[in-house]
Amino acid sequence: MPKPGRARPAAPAQKILDLEIEFLGSGGDGIARVEAGTLAIPRSLPGELVQAETGGSVGRQARGRAISILRASPDRVVAPCPHFDDLCGGCALQHLSDPAYADWKRGLVVQALERAGFADPTVAPLVPTSRHSRRRMDLAVRRRPGGVVLGLHRTHESSIVDFSQCPVMHPALFALVAPLRSVLSSLSALRHEGSVIGNFLADGPDLLLRTDGPLTPGDRAKLAAFAAAEGVPRVAWALGAGPSETAAQNFAPHVLFAGHRVEPPPGAFLQASAEGEAAIVAAVLAAVPDRLTGKSRGIDLFAGCGTLSFPLAEFLRVLAFEGDEAAAGAVRRAQAGSRVEMTRRDLARQPLSAKEFLGASMIVLDPPYAGAAPQMPAIAASGVSRVVYVSCNPVALAKDARFLAKDYRLLGATPIDQFLWSAQVESVCVFERKSKP
């Protein structure tokens, strides 16, 4: 509280600037240079002249808002979703033409590999995915007078865009938005806010609901009626960030990996689209070394629910490692009759040593967004001839691949547009150990 007689500091005055956008930043925002540094302007494109509003200060981390486009880029197109102009956080680049968009995303992978020390990297054209194919949603929920809002947070804001349509989400998932909004508004367990994670699996949508209050018997009855009416196999629930439990279940939901039935835990990590998963699997399998024997083995790190483990097992024996117990358990229950052996291991706290890789024909890793820094030194020192790194984060890819630059060469990389219109890009990078002189 200000002391008596001393004025409260005034908020910085808004500034209106005409800015030339020079390039797209890593988050998909247009970047303009100003005297104090740079200014990020969402929904702007390189080469555009925009009139922008700032918060009164501009500097290295400053952000602004485009008021009008004074000179549009030839690569600007009409966004297909009305929520895009409302700064829905799900998409950053709906206003960019397809060719320019594909070049930019491929460029993110090129730049990451160059930063890692691989000059002039061989990177394939971007593999596209279709609209309405996103099979995983993570929506925010907030109670308001008369009901709830259900959607995604606005870019760099805590407010929520209440969904009325989505050209990215799978239709079977989006069809649940309206009935979910209705049932959530009636739950005692939703006091102020929560979230809904949905995975569209082989037999329907699998939901995980997190709320800020305990689930009552009446809430459970409402969720069971909702699941029955909407054909939802399972609705799990958790209080805040706590462990989940089944609130309603009609049957056990499952996915198929190379013909193996896996029953994932609620809210499990799965590839964002079936098309993206197929492209990733194809790129990984194309990197399987020739001249394998019946005793050849591969090592799959950060294996999740077995997305890559089971397809790889068609070619060689797979030792899979995963830190999440629920995901590891799902693989164990499905591995009968396969050549997959699952071990639960937190690779951030207990990475494999170089000796544990001895005799492996290949290493495959699909780490979380932050990357696999604790594991990379041992991989680089392992002597394994083939390393396949699956990445959803070019920044982490650049840091991790740097460990391989001395002793490995890049055979090629495949960028995959797993996250349509977002600033994220998936990639599969294949490295081969250099021959010793």
CATH code for position 164: 2.40.50.1070
1 belongs to a structural domain: no
| pTM (2 d.p.) | 0.92
Per the structure, the complete domain to which residue 229 belongs is given by 136-255
Q: E strand or H helix at 286, and its extent?
A: helix 274-286
Q: How many domains does the chain have?
A: 3
Pair 140, 225 in one domain = yes
3-state DSSP assignment of residue 163: coil
Pair 270, 121 in one domain = yes
238 belongs to a structural domain: yes
| Averaged pLDDT for residues 198-212 | 96
Sequence-distant (6+) residues with CB within 8 A of 7 are none
Tell me how long the chain is.
437
> pLDDT grade, residue 9 (50/70/90)?
very low
The pLDDT tens digits of the residues spanning 379-413 come to 999 999 999 999 999 999 999 999 999 999 999 99
Pair 239, 273 in one domain = no
Q: Hey, what are 374's tokens?
A: 């604790």
- The identity of residue 418, as a single letter, is Q
85 belongs to a structural domain: no
Pair 267, 409 in one domain = yes
> pLDDT grade, residue 3 (50/70/90)?
very low
The pLDDT tens digits of the residues spanning 318-360 come to 999 999 999 999 999 998 888 999 999 999 999 999 999 999 9
89 belongs to a structural domain: no
Handedness of CA 336, 339, 341, 342 (dihedral sign): negative
**pLDDT, mean over the chain:** 93
Our CA dihedral for 291, 297, 303, 306, rounded to 10 degrees, sits at: 80
C-beta of residue 56 within 8 angstroms of C-beta of residue 11:
yes
Pair 150, 46 in one domain = no
Distance CA 433, CA 411 (A): 10
C-beta of residue 288 within 8 angstroms of C-beta of residue 316:
yes
Domain final residue, candidates 215, 232, 255: 255
Enzyme catalytic residues:
392
Distance CA 316, CA 295 (A): 7
Domain final residue, candidates 208, 223, 255: 255
C-beta of residue 365 within 8 angstroms of C-beta of residue 342:
no
Q: Hey, what are 177's tokens?
A: 């938005």
Indicate if the pLDDT at residue 28 is higher than 80: yes
| Averaged pLDDT for residues 167-174 | 96
Burial of 11 (0-12, 13-18, 19+ CB in 10 A): exposed
Domain final residue, candidates 234, 255, 276: 255
Pair 235, 275 in one domain = no
